[in-house]
Amino acid sequence: MTRWQQLRTSPWWGRLTHKYTLVTLFFVIWMAFVDSNSALIQWELDARFQALEDGISFYQKELEETQRQLDELASDPEKLEKYARERYWMHRPGERVALVNPSTSKDE
């Protein structure tokens, strides 16, 4: 008996070539790789969703930090003045503001 004939007479061959087994195998391969809602696409969408969730948590932390700074500036007029002068170059009437651009290298 050749190897092929031995394989065909094996009980496993009958189970693997059964029509329900073949249809199930075809369905699994179709759903995993071919379908428009395949497992690969679902994994990619899950990764995108996770990135968006990370972005939401990042922006929530930034919002809390900004709210803390706003509360701090609203409660202390000296800090508000310092922030306005540093950030928006505001000055009092009659003052002169000199902007100094720091050099990046020591050769200049």
Residue 108 lies in a domain: no
Looking at the structure, tell me whether residues 3 and 24 fall in a common domain: yes
Domain enclosing residue 24, as ranges: 1-35
Looking at the structure, tell me whether residues 90 and 45 fall in a common domain: yes
Looking at the structure, tell me whether residues 47 and 62 fall in a common domain: yes
Using a 10 angstrom Cβ sphere, with 0-12 exposed, 13-18 middle and 19 or more buried, the burial of residue 38 is: middle
Number of domains the chain contains: 2
Q: pTM (2 decimals)? A: 0.53
pLDDT bin (cut points 50, 70, 90) of residue 107 is low
| Cα 33 to Cα 45: distance, rounded to the nearest angstrom | 15
Looking at the structure, tell me whether residues 59 and 86 fall in a common domain: yes
Looking at the structure, tell me whether residues 42 and 1 fall in a common domain: no
Question: For 63-106, what is each residue's pLDDT tens digit?
Answer: 999 999 999 999 999 999 898 888 888 888 888 878 788 877 66
